[in-house]
Structure 1
Amino acid sequence: MATDFATILMRRGSADYWAGSGRPLSSGEWGYDETNRVVKIGDGFTMWNDLPAATLSSADGQLPTVVRSALASNIVDISTTEGAAVAQAAGREGNFTVASMGRARAAFAGVRAGTRSAKILCVGDSTTAGYGTSSALSYPSRLVAALAAGVPARAGLSIPPRQVEDPRWSLGGWAVINSFGWADSLALMSDNPGVGLASYTPGALADTFDVYYFGTGGYGTLHVELDTGEKIDVDTSGAAGSVQKVTVTASVATANHVVNFYNPTPKPVAVLGVDAYVAATPNARVGNVGVSGSASGQWGSVQGAVTGSGSAAAIRAYAPDLTLIMLGINDAKMAVSVDAYLANVAATIAAAKASGSVMLLSVVPSNTPAEDALERQYRDALPGFARTQGVGFVDILGRFGSYAESQPLGMYSDGLHPSTIGYVDIATAVARAIEVA
């Protein structure tokens, strides 16, 4: 069968021709500007000069130059749709600059190079402590596994438990007090020899144990002894109140070491936590100091109930390379204003920046409308605040969206606290931010 070929010619002319044309292209009619190499398709009533070009891409597959130029102009102008979208996306997370994250980057580079360890401190409330699950399933614990692909990591500083299960601690007759220490409300205290031993079993390979304690005038002797017999007695009656560290070292690293605490005097002694590790193995140690019920105003104080016993003093004593701060759910419960909330967080940032970098995390959405609304006000203020403070920001609330969206996905254990799945998701987001930073 013969093949017939035909040539289709569309209406065409120079730019001057089209500029002077007195009639519109008919609906579906094509027109070609030979000067500018532009094709337009008529709608039956729009004149040539007002018709958009039909060209969607150039020969190299790129958007036309005029379109690219318009986009480039619009994305830097927040009054345009494109600019507003880019500004929102950029503002929600980030500020991971050399100025904000340099010290953390250097610490992690040292871990990867095998020349040093890095300390990560997770500051927060019950959602950091792991309420609704256990300390072992909290986001800081999950962060250890999430980081492992990029940097060797292990559990770090552990504090005495309150409201959240942590079988590594045995309190004996010692009391978890709520007048000073972490969040100005958590320390392990004994005030007489009769209460016996308290102990901590890290459950992971370790040969070095940094014990953090509070000392001030009138306090007694803290006896620290390992299950293998290594021991030390610490006079905690310093003239001025302060958080201090004493290190006890075992001759052999095992996963079964037990750190025992005893008070041989009729005077108070106070333990704030233990950081256990293998001295010869550099890694990133993730410490969890989440305190259930705590709000932002409890984390920035150096003073505390006893001079030098506040949270800021404890953070400075631990000297983290990176501090993650996730506070706000209890502030929202107490209707703390945005300005007051930011001022409180600024005080905590100041303590953390004395030794390292800081990332702020927005909180998970609440199932209580009034509290959720205030949490979103905190979140909306955090990106600009983070830039002003020179710290990073990770939007956990934005990741969860809302309680109504995330709860059916199994992200919550109750109306406020994440489930195991929720804590894994938070850890994943934080690990990615650390990798990017």
Structure 2
Amino acid sequence: MLALNTVNAAPADATTPASLSIPSWGTTTRSYNEALDAYNLRPNNLSRWRAARTRAAAGLGTGHITTFLDSITATQGVPGVSEPKYANAWYGRLNRMLEASYGRAGSGIVVPWDRWYDKPAEDARLTMTGTVTKHTFGPHQLGCIRWLNGGGGNFVEFTDTCTEFVLYMVNGGSRPRVQVDGGPVKFIAGNPNTDVAQTDYDPEPGYQKTATGSTGQIVTRVPAGPFAPHTIRIYAPTNNTSYAYLIGIEGRTGAAGIRVSNLARSGLKMAEFIRDDSAAYLSGLPTSLDMPKADLAIMLLGMNDYQAHRDIPTFKANVTTVVQRQKSSEAFRANGDVLLVTCPQPNYSYPIPADGVLTPPLAEYYTALYEVADEQDIPLLDLANRWKDFATSNALGYFADPLHPNNLGSEEIATAIHNVLMAV
């Protein structure tokens, strides 16, 4: 379906017959909502999201959504989506739609991607001064920066309208320091074993660390003051030998509402998504799924695996891995919901893939996503069916190039997802 702003109620959790209009690549085990282009959409398989939405609507707390995976979501380097990307990519537009109904809870987690050095205009809220370098920790092993004190000349700043900042770090030893709006410098923990008697702001409980506590994740809340624009500056420890490692930062408002955090990065494939540092918890799935603890992860998948000709069984197995991880109720896991989204069909004749080889066909990746939705009992938004082929959706003005959405296309993706989230 191509119309904007169409909302129909999701089917009840009782078994319902599959629609005869299900796409040719779809499976027919469960029902298909034609108005929403949604498969297997039921209240019971978005229960964590529904609870978060109810909590926010009642003014009793916040909900958290994370978004994945590649440039269709991130729009990094895509000229058809206006700067700043965090406001104009579909996840930013979805954030505004949800804020209009439930209030603004915060900026969402901002990840210092390794691309920041190439495209700083995409998010000017985060700036780096002095010698600040990329590192292989963080989400997908691509979302971390580190720096030494350098006599105080190296630091990172983040600006947002908020009442507090939340820092997502991994250990570098000793004690990094923070300063809000040029005020006094305060100490925070540099590893899970830091003596809290020596810190001004203690790390939050409930995050992963090794058995000895010498290595792990550190999440710290730093008060900013009354709701207003604030800037936090983060310094490394004073010893000039211990690094500060930052993998995310956000501003929070202290009010009820919904936060949307983008964990997508241009160029990603499922092979990067499933990276798992199960020994030290410093990178991969422990930082992209476990650490954010999202009520809902929205995963728009398939395009880069298709372009790389990833075999279908491996693609499906990798998708299953991340879905099960997000849904897991084991200690430190998110225990959250998942919404799968198929990618729009590109202009194959461009050619896409670049080598002109169209096998396996993109439709087989769509089928694999339907099968995961069946097997893991999660909903799927079929954006590929909603937009039909490239000629149809491009004629409607949705594409910036043969592959990526522009501003209008990003708005349409956000609308389609918003309709699904409001229908349960």
Fold agreement, TM-score > 0.5: yes
- In the alignment, is the contact (CA less than 8 A) between 2:60 and 2:256 conserved in 1? yes
Q: 1:227 aligns with which of 173, 176, 181?
A: 181
Q: Is 1:389 aligned to residue 369 of structure 2?
A: no
Match of 1:431 among 401, 404, 418: 418
Query: What is the SS of the residue equivalent to 2:276?
Result: coil
Indicate conservation of the 8 Å contact 1:411/1:421, yes or no. yes
The runs of at least 4 consecutive aligned structure 1 residues that moved more than 6 Å come to: 80-86
| 1:341/1:174 CA distance change after superposition, 3 Å | farther
Q: Is the 8 A contact 1:160 1:176 kept in 2?
A: no
Deviations 1:418-437 (A, max 9, x none): 11111111100110010113
For 1:82 and 1:228, how far apart are their aligned partners in 2? Answer: 58
TM-score of the aligned structures, taking structure 2 as reference length: 0.76
Aligned match of 1:10: none
1:261 to 230, 234, 250: 234
The answer to whether the 8 A contact 2:99-2:258 is kept is: no
Counterparts in 2 of 1:286-301, with a 5 A limit?
Answer: 286-301=260-275
Secondary structure of 2:242's counterpart equals: coil
Q: Quote the offset at 1:192 in angstroms.
A: 4.6
Distance 1:231 1:101, change over 3 A: farther
Task: Determine which of 176, 198, 205 is the counterpart of 2:156.
Answer: 198
Structure 2 CA distance for partners of 1:234 and 1:77, relative to 1, 3 Å: closer
Structure exhibiting the larger radius of gyration computed from Cα positions = 1
1:276 aligned to 241, 247, 251, which one? 251
Q: How does 1:200-349 map to 2 (within 5 A)?
A: 200-202=158-160, 205-215=161-171, 219-227=173-181, 229=183, 231-238=185-192, 239-254=213-228, 256-263=229-236, 264=238, 265-279=240-254, 281-303=255-277, 307-314=280-287, 315-349=289-323
**Structure 1 residues 174 and 316, CA gap change in structure 2 (3 angstroms):** farther
**Match of residue 200 from structure 2:** none
- Match in the other structure for 1:379: 366
Query: How much has 1:177 moved relative to structure 2?
Result: 2.1
- Summarize deviations over 1:377-428 as a string: whole Å, max 9, x none: 2112212311211322111222222222222332122221111111111100
Specify the alignment match of 1:37 in structure 2: none
In structure 2, list runs of 5 or more residues that go unmatched: 1-15, 193-212, 328-333
2:206 corresponds to: none
Deviation at 1:337, TM superposition (A): 1.4
Asked whether the equivalents of residues 300 and 351 of structure 1 are also in contact (C-alpha less than 8 Å), the reply is no
Q: Is the alpha carbon distance of 1:397 and 1:278 closer, same or farther for their aligned partners in structure 2, counting shifts above 3 Å?
A: same
- Say whether 1:130 aligns with 2:71: no
| Residue 157 (structure 1) shift | 1.5
Distance, in Å, in 2 between the alignment partners of 1:347 and 1:189 is 29
- The one-letter amino acid paired with 1:361 is V
Tell me: CA distance 1:151–1:383, structure 2 relative to 1, closer, same or farther (3 Å). Answer: farther
How far off is 1:242 after superposition?
A: 2.5
- Equivalent residue number for residue 361 of structure 1: 341
CA 1:110/1:83 → structure 2, altered by over 3 Å: closer, same or farther?
Answer: closer
CA separation of 1:81 and 1:287: change in aligned 2, threshold 3 A = closer
Counterpart of 1:137, as a letter, is N
Distance verdict in 2 for CA 1:261–1:76, change over 3 Å: closer
**Tell me, which stretches of 5 or more residues in structure 1 are unaligned?**
1-74
Cα-to-partner distance string for 1:160-182 (whole Å, 9 max, x where unaligned): 25255111111223545252311
Q: 1:398 and 1:414 mapped to 2: Cα distance?
A: 19
Question: 1:193–1:266: 8 Å Cα contact kept in structure 2?
Answer: no
| Count of aligned pairs between the two proteins | 355
Q: 2:109 aligns with which of 157, 174, 193?
A: 157
SS in 2 for 1:221: coil
CA distance in 1, matches of 2:177, 2:166: 14
Of 388-397 and 220-229, the range deviating more from structure 2: 220-229
Normalization by structure 1: what TM-score?
0.74
Hey, which of these two has a bigger chunk of helix by percent? 1
